[in-house]
Chains A and B, each alone.
Chain A
Amino acid sequence: MAQTSVSKTREHREEHAISLRGTLASVFIMGIFLLLAWLGVFILFLARL
């Protein structure tokens, strides 16, 4: 990265804002899994009440 110039850094910064779409999608897939697992056991709890 010896040639890392100011312009490249800036380009990287701009890219940064859009380049985390995959991250957002990934955490939300994970979040949906957490939610479904929780709901599943909560429904089981209500059914066995």
Chain B
Amino acid sequence: MHLHRYEKIWLTVGLLTLIVFIIVLGINAFAMGAQPPSDAQVIDPTKVSQTPPFDQPGLKQLGNNNYAADMTAFVFGYAPNRIEIPVRSTVTFNVTSKDVVHGFEIPGTDVNMMIVPGLVNSATHTFTKPGDYLILCNEYCGAGHQLMAAHLVVK
């Protein structure tokens, strides 16, 4: 099949650019640790309230400026619905759903993940600026979806 010389140039440059995208993303994710949330931990979605750590959702201090936030998502809210941490804290959010699929997003950060019943998902972020961060559900979950939010206060 004959290709016009210009088309060869265009397709070669285009293909190389796409390959560069793949390499940049691959290095950033696999070598520098910027992986998207892909937790593999399973849980019985009907027994979330009896399964540790989600029987007692809340903030747990792991070390200096290092926290785990074990949270549950449900129609139409999160538990806990307010978290306070000191500035420059690193928080790992471990979240699971007690009912349907939810989202977990903190606008202005890269924290954004799907919360699927039967699975735990997690994301880690370091908060370097003080402020009141909105945690919101970005996956349609029912009649009160637009009200589903929580607050993270960084002091």
**Contact present for A49 and B110 (CB under 8 Å):** yes
Give which listed residue, B5, B9, B17, B110, contacts A35 with CB less than 8 A: B17
Interface residues of B in 2-35 (CB under 8 A from A): 4-6, 9-10, 13-14, 17, 21, 24, 34
Give which listed residue, B4, B13, B108, B110, contacts A31 with CB less than 8 A: B13
Task: State the total of A-B contacts with C-beta under 8 angstroms.
Answer: 27
Q: Give the distance in Å from the alpha carbon of A48 to the alpha carbon of B34 in the complex.
A: 11
Q: Give the distance in Å from the alpha carbon of A45 to the alpha carbon of B34 in the complex.
A: 10
Per-residue contact bits, chain A 23-38, to B (CB 8 Å; 1 contact, 0 not): 1100110010011001
Known A-B contacts A42-B24, A45-B110, A49-B34; the reply to A31 vs B14 at CB < 8 A is yes
Which residue of chain A has its CB nearest to the CB of B5? A17
Main secondary structure of the interface of B (DSSP, over half): helix
Give which listed residue, A24, A34, A35, A48, contacts B6 with CB less than 8 A: A24
Residues of chain A at interface, number, CB under 8 A = 15
Q: Does B109 contact A (CB under 8 A)?
A: yes
Contacts A20-B4, A49-B110 aside, 14 further interface pairs with beta carbons under 8 A come to: A17-B4, A20-B6, A24-B6, A27-B10, A31-B10, A31-B13, A31-B14, A31-B17, A38-B21, A42-B24, A45-B34, A48-B108, A48-B109, A49-B34
Q: Which B residues are within 8 Å of any A CB, using their own CB?
A: 4-6, 9-10, 13-14, 17, 21, 24, 34, 108-110
Q: Which A residues are within 8 Å of any B CB, using their own CB?
A: 17, 20-21, 23-24, 27-28, 31, 34-35, 38, 42, 45, 48-49
